[in-house]
Chain A
Amino acid sequence: MLRLVVRRLLQLIPTLFGLSVLLFLWIHRLPGGPAWALLGERGDEASRRQIEEQLGLDEPLLVQYGRWLGRLVRLDLGNSVKTGQPVWEEFTLRFPATVELGLTALLFAVVIGIPLGYFAARRRGTWLDVAAVSGSLLGICVPVFFLAMILRSIFAVNLGWLPSGGRLTTGINATDVTGFAVLDGLLTGEFDASWDAIQHLILPGLALASIPLAVVVRITRASVLEVLSEDYVRTAESKGLRKSVVRGRHVLRNALLPVVTTVGLVTGSLLSGAVLTESAFSFGGIGSFIRQAISDRDYPVLMGFILFIALLYVLINLVVDLTYGLIDPRVRVN
């Protein structure tokens, strides 16, 4: 298993290198530079030149790339042009929020999606099936930002059940240990902070869950249908095994394999959704930060982020592969 992990990580290097060259050229081709973003209305030609000189943006691209790569080798992603803080710090500051949000969305998708898909398959062709399938499809057809707006309007503004945005209610002072608000509260015993963080996660989590939910329902349904028609299920049933055993041990577990793959596959789209959800709920995660970085032309942040995503992408796939082994012994990696 360790060898697999190492091999995967080694495979990553050439890809990342190619990616970084392409992206460096691409990003630096974006019109305008960070200078205007920094200066706003108060900028003029002279100060723009001054900033570009100071940032070294007037040098040839190759020199700039070399400098960037040189720092990268020393594991330094550089500093954000906008905030002046190390890119790495900016990420570690914001990434936990996005991870929390993404996990919440996945949790919702799995907790709602798997049973829904399972029962839709068991009752194939009934109204339950049609409702489950079209309902979950409806989820992906609603633009995430519109869903966010409606959820917030109903549950936060009109009913007042849940907070309308942010990660924590102001005034709740949570000790920062890991950056994960929920986990921090549990670790330090500040359960009210954890609880508060969970409340803040519900609405954005639901909005974001609309994307993976449809996929989870569909795949679960299809995969349960397939397993139900397998011979071993019929055998088990005819042997007189209890229904719950057949369902749990035979049907559900075998059907879960593609679901796990899918959950891994939708992680990428979750990040896209996070940009919109975080903006709509002013949830200070990496999504809204990157959106801002693009419009600010914050080159170091963008470069760092994309490399980071590529790394993450590989890791998620690795985790998916390892989870395979847990669910299906046949594909367990040796």
Chain B
Amino acid sequence: MATKTEKIDRLAELTARRETAVGGSLWVEAFRRLRTSKMAMIGACIMVAFVIIAIIGPWIAPHNPTAQLWRDEVFTNRGEFVGPRAENWLGLDHLGRDQLSRLLVGARQTLLVGVVATVLGFAVGALIGGISGAALAFGGRAGQRLDTVLMRFIDMMLAMPSLLLAVSIAAVMGQSLTTVMIAVGVVQVPVFARLLRGSMLSQANADYVLAARALGVRRRRVVLGHVLPNSLGPVIVQSTLALATAIIEAAALSYLGLGNPDASQPEWGVMLAQAERFFDEAPLMAFCPALGIIITALGFTLLGEAMREALDPKLRS
């Protein structure tokens, strides 16, 4: 069971070791390269636009996104939908609600799901990974044992296909927005845990740590003051990518009928899953939220990839 995870560790270790070698100037250097990267710029622009919409969406929405204001004009049973018109720029959805307003308001919900799920995955994952890494590197025999137990647990989570894990969590907890966030977040836990642990292990053998320990600095200070801060790089990059994954996974849960079902809060994944039924009659209804999801996810992914590349010294041109 160890091989795959050993490899992740090894990769993290390699990345981390290179970082240390370059030292403090790495972050400055990385930021400089990030600024010149087209990918990063596109990604950042998308991200900023998305966040702005998510914040001001409810104020600029032309109509109430949940009121079925035009419900007498839409006949889903006859496949009669209302497309774009002066009053509703993107047409109506299947229950006679303004599509544009739903999209604008939905951005916030979508961002919320992504951020909360990622933060959750990050927090729990980093906690487990951090404890595990610190225990293994500085905890002696007992630490080793603790690490084994924790990592076996993470292995089990990794072995289970992420979507099935999310589905079963959603099944246990019932359907709500919280469930979606937790289900999507839990899936990210093992990735973060593995990454941080690997990264910490490589830091533990770095010269400055050995020096600090030789000077008699206490273990707790070494871990919290030196090893941990220096190990966070790859984990932070990962969280950008995880945000994109979270948004997509939330949409997948909706497609499987386990998404956030509360209609008072429109959310892109739910909108897409519901519009999928009417794809032939009203493709725009599915395309709008789908494009929203795709562009947003792409923005986060581009930024994350660019950061990863910028932090990777061996790819310096």
* CB-defined contacts of B290 to chain A, threshold 8 Å: 142-143, 146
The answer to whether the Cβ of B301 comes within 8 Å of any Cβ in the partner chain is yes
- A39 within 8 Å of B (CB atoms): no
Q: Complex formed: what's the CA distance from A309 to B255 in Å?
A: 24
A272 and B251 within 8 A (CB): no
Q: Give A269-304 interface residues, CB cut-off 8 Å to B.
A: 269, 271-273, 275-276, 279, 290-291, 294-295
B163 pairs with A276, CB closer than 8 A:
yes
In the complex, what's the smallest C-beta–C-beta distance from B67 to chain A, in angstroms?
A: 27
Whether A137 contacts B251 by the Cβ 8 Å rule is: no
Q: Chain B 289-312 against A: per-residue CB contact (8 Å), 1 yes, 0 no? A: 010011101100110010001001
Residue in contact with A272 in the complex, picked from B161, B280, B286, CB distance below 8 Å: B161
Question: A107 at the A/B interface (Cβ < 8 Å)?
Answer: no
* A323 to B83 CA separation, bound complex (whole angstroms): 54
B314 touches A226 (CB 8 A): yes
A198 at the interface (CB under 8 A from B): no
Interface flags for A57-74 (1: CB within 8 Å of B; 0: not) read 000000000000000000
Count of inter-chain pairs, beta carbons less than 8 A: 142
Q: Which residues of A contact B309 (CB under 8 A)?
A: 222
Segment from A25-33, A232-240, A244-252 that makes contact with B: A25-33
**Is B244 an interface residue, CB under 8 A from the partner?**
yes
The reply to whether B252 and A143 contact each other, CB–CB distance below 8 Å, is yes
The answer for the CA separation of A124 and B315 in the assembled complex, in Å, is 11
Name the residue of chain B whose CB is nearest to the CB of A272.
B163
> Which B residues are in CB contact (< 8 Å) with A2?
none
User: How far is A208 from B314 in the complex, measured between Cα atoms in Å?
Assistant: 32
Q: Are B280 and A309 touching (Cβ within 8 A)? A: no
Q: In the docked arrangement, what's the CA distance between A79 and B162, Å? A: 25
For A, the interface residue count at a CB cutoff of 8 angstroms equals: 58
Within 8 Å of chain A (Cβ to Cβ): is B264? Answer: no
Q: How far is the CA of A15 from the CA of B153 in the complex (A)?
A: 9
Segment at the interface with A among B51-59, B69-77, B87-95, B168-176: B168-176
Identify which of residues 155-212 in chain B touch chain A, using a CB-to-CB cut-off of 8 Å. Answer: 155-156, 158-164, 167-168, 171-172, 174
Q: A275-B164, A294-B164 are in contact. Are A137 and B305 (CB under 8 A)?
A: yes
23 A-B contact pairs sorted by A residue (CB < 8 Å): A15-B152, A18-B156, A31-B171, A133-B39, A137-B302, A140-B297, A140-B301, A141-B301, A143-B252, A145-B276, A265-B7, A268-B159, A269-B162, A272-B163, A275-B167, A291-B167, A294-B164, A294-B168, A306-B160, A310-B159, A313-B159, A314-B1, A320-B3
Interface residues of A, Cβ cutoff 8 Å to B: 8, 11-12, 14-15, 18-19, 22, 26-27, 29-31, 124-125, 130, 133-134, 137-138, 140-146, 149, 153, 218, 222, 225-226, 229, 261, 264-265, 268-269, 271-273, 275-276, 279, 290-291, 294-295, 306, 309-310, 313-314, 317-318, 320-321
- List the interface of chain B (C-beta within 8 A of A): 1-4, 7-8, 38-39, 152, 155-156, 158-164, 167-168, 171-172, 174, 244, 248, 251-252, 255-256, 269, 272, 276, 279-280, 286, 290, 293-295, 297-298, 301-302, 305, 309, 312, 314-315, 317
